[in-house]
């Protein structure tokens, strides 16, 4: 009986014009997205990026320890193969991350497509985008009348007059609709994979296959949740047109309004100094009036006539100057570290607020499974913070090779490193980004994934209760 | 005759009220407009406070000007309260510009490498209008004709001796009256919160712009309604009309605006930036003159920026006289260098515009995009607004050059000698950013877009009418 009902539902969906339209739109978007990914990925791999890397820069080149102390070491973010499925807005996150020995982070953001301020901010058309925006809409259009239309035209009454339980009808409706939704998803994913595979741009190793599989399963699960939401609304309201409007309002809130407001609210709730404020505050710490710092002319510092000083006074004066300079550098380092902490906290808060919508939850679970986007950025920061310890040890060991060195360990004051020993670039420790293990990925995805699971259970019970208690006259 | 049309319009309006379409929409608008306006106005207040801080800093910096050549007036583009309605490019570009005797102000993307919140989409009321009013207009129109066909009431009404255009006009007027009233509520709420809750002054310019923005939003809503009505006249069942309308909505509000720029950025990438390293003849002349002075007297120290500012200390009379004789030539060479740099900046700007033009042409299929573009022009936050602002800045730069000439700055030792104390800037002309761009300029830029939308409205009304007139009642 169940099989018959599911087949009827499925055929009912497949033979409609709206299904054909959904199928064509989805397939077209999947094809376009795969082709543009291949082009963008190729360019990203070619575009160098390598100029940022903290490793050996030129064969035979060398630098003094003193220079190395104030030089950032780090890495350019390598484009990932999984980005055709989940890009997770990586385009808008720093492309290069570096760290100095004093723990100060350096970042650059310019990525392909973000260099024209006239173009509005756009979404990467990856699997997640297609599922969040196109397929979610498709589910709504396919299922908004799954129960209500049968109530309206009276067929549900006839079906219930047979000895068929309501739960069986509900499950068959879900199964039929879900199978119909899986058709464009599966077709699109297969086409997309074929295009990416054929391009030879991405090496499909075991880890990547696992990740792609997980993202596909998550997408299917998310669409199942949306299907349950549609069935619930349709059963609850009992009128097709009202169901569609309510579901579209849900779509607008979930896909557009809540993620759109998350950034604004995050900026409001965790205040971070603007670039101008940072400039002015750092100028103030350095003892320069901000006004001079801003106008680009630093000529009016008090000058001292050293020629009138005795040797002892000169030495005292220089020592005092060094102390003041070191103190200022330390204050600036502390200020920048605090700023970075606030930026990351702001990002985390905005992300949590975006996850108040099912769409946001899905998007960030997919990002966690792909190990990209914010998750990758955070991990990279943590790895760099770990690397800086070995980088400092290396610098100290090199500094001590010079017998005249002051043997400083004060990295906040780069001037305290007096060694002039030259270190060849090929002897420098190189920072390598370590991609997360599957266990780490699952750890990241656990909370948002479980929340989606929780929502699905709640929605399922709501749909079941509403349908079971619905009086059908 | 007119009474019949109004009668039909009234019937549509009442239908809307009794079906909870209008009350439901009203609740949605009240919630969305109030929450979004409040959130954005809080953020605006922060940016306005920062703008005020920067103004104070700039004023203090100006007073510290040591030499005429170092005269650099920093001009801030004030954040517009209407950026709440449409942010445009205002958050993507720098809003602080330096006007010097040489060099040209140019629009550059803001250095936001540290701004991690870029990963979240920007949100403003124009987006709410595009999404919500686009949806509401379609909800109001989908059953307009198809619903009556389905129920058979159209057959009944058509049997009366009433011209069909009156029937259609009645429907259009009734539903548009409801939609425009809802839009007016949204705008009213926006103004109420901005002006009285957040205490943000709007000013005469702002009120006029808001009026034009309301007109643009009305046109957008009307256009979407008429497209929905056309779909409705072409469908025999209201459910088909509704689904077709929703497909249109998702394409014009979601797919086109969100994806076209992505495809353009990838498929038509920007060529490499032009070489900004200009001849720098002025800089070389300056350094050679300063080195010569330094060779004569070891006490001389200087701080310069090769593109303009010069501050020399420890000069004796000979050194001062020597530099005085060279400064006119150096200043002219620096001005030539700046002109050559400007040409390269123009090349870069054209490349940016070429890339954007491709995206704009494709996105013209989406009324939501057209409204977005129109609203950012009218709010003064679009690229056009910045161009007008730059035009005012260029005029101001000419005023500064003239003022320096009148002061005899180029022949005065104060042009370069930092030991003579800060220069007097009491008579320096000041730039008023508030009056730099008049609403009339932006409205003039927006007229082609408004005309385009109005024409599209007429076309879709005629299409709907033809389709409706051809309906066979049998």
3-state secondary structure A22-48: HHHHHHHHHHHHHHHHHHHHHHHHHCC
Facing residue for A343 by CB, picked from B114, B142, B303: B114
**Residue B103 pLDDT greater than 80, yes or no:** no
What are the DSSP calls for B319-373, one per residue? HHHHHHHHHHHHHHHHHHHHHHHHHHHHHHHHHHHHHHHHHHHHHTT-HHHHHHH
8 A C-beta contact, residue B415 and residue B332: no
Q: What is the pLDDT of residue B279?
A: 63
Chain B interface test: which of A30, A96, A116 (most B C-beta within 10 Å): A116
Instruction: Tally C-beta pairs within 8 A across A and B.
Output: 238
| B118 confidence band (pLDDT: 50, 70, 90) | confident
H/E element, A423: strand A422-424
Q: What is the pLDDT of residue B116?
A: 74
Contact A92 B46 (CB under 8 A): no
pLDDT along chain A (473 residues), means of 10: 84 88 92 91 71 47 78 82 88 82 75 68 86 93 87 82 83 92 94 92 88 94 94 89 87 87 84 78 71 42 60 78 78 83 88 91 94 89 89 85 74 72 81 86 90 91 88 70
Q: Domain range holding B71?
A: 2-110+121-277+333-469
Q: What is the pLDDT of residue A362?
A: 95
Q: What is the pLDDT of residue B307?
A: 59
Work out the minimum CA distance from B272 to partner chain A, whole angstroms. 11
Contact B303 A297 (CB under 8 A): yes
8 A C-beta contact, residue A108 and residue B251: no
Residue of A nearest to B20 (CA): A242
Alpha-carbon distance of A112 to A105, in angstroms, equals 22
Q: What is the pLDDT of residue A289?
A: 52
A21 reaches B (C-beta below 8 A): yes
Structure tokens at B253: 């509000």
Q: What is the pLDDT of residue B18?
A: 73
Find chain B residues with C-beta within 8 A of A252's C-beta: 131-132, 135
| B460 confidence band (pLDDT: 50, 70, 90) | very high
Q: What is the pLDDT of residue A109?
A: 67
User: Is residue B101 in a domain?
Assistant: yes
User: Is residue B131 in a domain?
Assistant: yes
If you ran DSSP here, which 8-state letter would residue A252 be given?
Answer: I
Domain ranges of chain A: 2-274+335-469
A50 reaches B (C-beta below 8 A): no
Quick: pLDDT tens for B165-191: 888 888 889 889 999 999 999 999 999
Q: Which of A89, A58, A59, A53 is nearest to A72 (CA)?
A: A53
Facing residue for A299 by CB, picked from B63, B117, B311: B311
**How many other CB atoms sit within 10 Å of the CB of residue A305?**
7
Average pLDDT for chain B? 84
Find chain B residues with C-beta within 8 A of A265's C-beta: 39
Q: How many CA atoms lie within 13 A of A163 on its CB side?
A: 0
Contact A276 B96 (CB under 8 A): yes
Contact A252 B131 (CB under 8 A): yes
Torsion of CA B35, B39, B45, B51, to 10 degrees: -140
Q: Which of A230, A244, A249, A240 is nearest to A170 (CA)?
A: A230
Contact B131 A257 (CB under 8 A): yes
B253-258: average pLDDT: 88
Contact A118 B259 (CB under 8 A): no
Residue of B nearest to A135 (CA): B250
Widest CA span in chain A = 110
Q: What is the pLDDT of residue B107?
A: 67
Alpha-carbon distance of A367 to A88, in angstroms, equals 6
| pLDDT more than 90, % of chain B | 20
Q: What is the pLDDT of residue B112?
A: 52
| B41 confidence band (pLDDT: 50, 70, 90) | confident
Quick: pLDDT tens for B6-22: 887 788 777 777 777 78
Higher pLDDT, B434 or B284: B284
Quick: pLDDT tens for B74-88: 888 888 888 889 888
**Residue B393 pLDDT greater than 90, yes or no:** no
Structure tokens at B145: 């004709």
**Residue B25 pLDDT greater than 80, yes or no:** yes
Q: What is the pLDDT of residue B14?
A: 78
Count of domains forming chain B: 1
Find chain B residues with C-beta within 8 A of A41's C-beta: none
Q: What is the pLDDT of residue A302?
A: 46
Q: What is the pLDDT of residue B163?
A: 80
Q: What is the pTM of this model?
A: 0.83
Facing residue for A119 by CB, picked from B70, B93, B265: B265
Find chain B residues with C-beta within 8 A of A107's C-beta: 113-114
8 A C-beta contact, residue A360 and residue A259: yes
Q: Which of A224-238, A289-303, B197-211, B323-337 has the lowest mean pLDDT?
A: A289-303
Residue of A nearest to B96 (CA): A276
8 A C-beta contact, residue B134 and residue B224: yes
Q: What is the pLDDT of residue B408?
A: 84
């Amino acid at each position: 009986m169940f099989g018959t009902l599911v087949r009827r539902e499925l055929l009912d969906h497949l033979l409609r014009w709206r299904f054909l339209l959904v199928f064509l739109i989805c397939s077209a978007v999947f094809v376009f997205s795969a082709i543009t990914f291949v082009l963008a990925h190729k360019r990203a791999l070619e575009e160098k990026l390598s100029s940022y890397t903290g490793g050996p820069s030129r064969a035979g080149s060398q630098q003094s320890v003193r220079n190395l102390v104030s030089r950032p070491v780090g890495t350019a973010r390598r484009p990932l193969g999984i980005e055709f499925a989940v890009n997770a807005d990586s385009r808008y996150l720093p492309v290069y991350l570096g760290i100095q020995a004093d723990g100060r982070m350096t970042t650059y953001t310019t990525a392909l497509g973000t260099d024209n301020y006239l173009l509005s901010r756009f979404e990467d058309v990856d699997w997640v985008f297609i599922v969040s925006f196109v397929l979610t809409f498709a589910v709504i259009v396919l299922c908004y009348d799954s129960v209500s239309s049968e109530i309206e035209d009276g067929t549900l009454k006839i079906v219930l007059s047979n000895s068929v339980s309501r739960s069986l009808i509900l499950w068959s409706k879900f199964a039929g609709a879900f199978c119909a939704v899986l058709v464009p998803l599966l077709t699109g994913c297969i086409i997309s994979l074929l295009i990416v595979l054929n391009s030879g741009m991405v090496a499909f190793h075991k880890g990547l296959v696992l990740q792609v599989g997980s993202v596909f399963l998550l997408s299917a699960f998310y669409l199942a949740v949306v299907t349950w939401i549609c069935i619930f609304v349709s059963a609850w309201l009992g009128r097709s047109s009202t169901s569609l409007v309510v579901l579209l309002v849900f779509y607008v809130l979930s896909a557009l309004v809540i993620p759109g407001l998350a950034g604004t609210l995050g900026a409001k709730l965790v205040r971070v100094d603007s670039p101008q404020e940072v400039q002015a505050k750092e100028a103030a710490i350095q003892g320069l009036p901000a006004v001079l710092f801003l106008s680009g002319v630093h000529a009016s510092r008090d000058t001292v006539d050293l020629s009138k000083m005795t040797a002892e006074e000169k030495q005292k004066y220089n020592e005092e100057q060094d102390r003041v300079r070191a103190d200022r550098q330390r204050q600036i380092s502390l200020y920048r570290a605090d700023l970075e902490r606030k930026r990351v906290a702001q990002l985390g808060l905005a992300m949590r607020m975006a996850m108040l919508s099912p769409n946001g939850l899905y998007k960030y679970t997919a990002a966690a499974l792909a190990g990209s986007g914010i998750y990758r950025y955070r991990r990279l920061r943590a790895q760099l913070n770990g690397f800086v310890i070995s980088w400092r040890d290396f610098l100290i060991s090199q500094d001590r090779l010079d017998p005249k060195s002051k043997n400083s360990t004060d990295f906040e004051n780069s001037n305290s490193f007096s060694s002039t020993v030259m270190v060849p670039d090929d002897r420098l420790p190189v920072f390598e980004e370590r991609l997360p293990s599957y266990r780490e990925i699952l750890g990241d995805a656990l909370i948002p994934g479980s929340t989606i699971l929780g929502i699905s259970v709640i929605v399922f019970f709501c749909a079941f209760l509403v349908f079971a208690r619905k009086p059908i006259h | 005759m007119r009474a019949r049309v109004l009668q039909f319009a009234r019937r549509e309006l009442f239908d809307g009220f009794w079906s909870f379409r209008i009350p439901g929409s009203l609740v949605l608008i009240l919630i969305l407009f109030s929450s979004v306006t409040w959130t954005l106005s809080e953020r605006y207040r922060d940016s306005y406070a920062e703008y005020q801080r920067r103004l104070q800093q700039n004023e203090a910096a100006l007073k510290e000007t040591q030499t005429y050549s170092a005269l650099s007036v920093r001009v801030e583009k004030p954040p517009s309260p209407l950026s709440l309605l449409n942010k445009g490019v205002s958050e993507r570009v720098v809003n602080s510009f330096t006007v010097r005797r040489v060099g040209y102000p140019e629009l550059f993307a803001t250095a936001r490498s540290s701004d991690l919140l870029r990963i979240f989409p920007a949100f403003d009321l124009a987006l709410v209008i595009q999404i919500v009013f686009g949806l509401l207009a379609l909800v109001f129109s989908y059953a307009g004709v198809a619903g009556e066909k389905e129920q058979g009431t159209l057959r009944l009404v058509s049997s009366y001796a009433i011209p069909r255009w009156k029937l259609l006009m009645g429907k259009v007027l009734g539903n548009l009256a409801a939609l425009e009233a809802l839009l007016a509520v949204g705008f009213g709420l926006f103004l109420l919160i901005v002006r009285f809750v957040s205490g943000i002054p709007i000013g005469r310019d702002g009120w006029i712009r808001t009026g034009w923005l309301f007109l643009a939003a009305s046109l957008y809503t009307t256009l979407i309604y008429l497209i929905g009505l056309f779909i409705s006249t072409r469908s025999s069942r209201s459910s088909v009309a509704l689904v077709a309308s929703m497909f249109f909505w998702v394409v014009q509000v979601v797919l086109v605006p969100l994806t076209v720029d992505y495809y353009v950025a990838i498929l038509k990438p920007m060529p490499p930036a032009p070489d900004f390293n200009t001849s720098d003849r002025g800089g070389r002349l300056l350094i050679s003159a300063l080195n010569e002075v330094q060779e004569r007297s070891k006490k001389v120290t200087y701080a310069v920026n090769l593109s303009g500012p010069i501050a020399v200390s420890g000069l004796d009379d000979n050194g001062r006289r020597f530099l005085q004789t060279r400064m006119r030539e150096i200043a002219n060479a620096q001005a030539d260098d700046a002109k050559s740099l400007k040409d390269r900046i123009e090349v870069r700007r054209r490349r940016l515009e070429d890339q954007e033009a491709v995206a704009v042409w494709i996105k013209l299929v989406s009324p939501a995009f057209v409204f977005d573009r129109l609203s950012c022009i009218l709010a003064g936050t679009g690229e056009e607004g910045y161009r007008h602002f730059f035009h005012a800045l260029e005029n101001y730069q000419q005023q500064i050059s003239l003022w320096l000439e009148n002061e005899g700055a180029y022949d005065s030792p104060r042009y370069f000698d930092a030991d003579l104390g800060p220069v007097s800037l009491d008579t320096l002309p000041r730039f008023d950013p508030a009056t730099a761009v008049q609403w009339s300029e932006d409205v003039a830029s927006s007229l082609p877009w408004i005309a385009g939308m109005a024409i599209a409205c007429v076309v879709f009304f005629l299409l709907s009418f033809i389709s409706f007139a051809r309906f066979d009642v049998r």
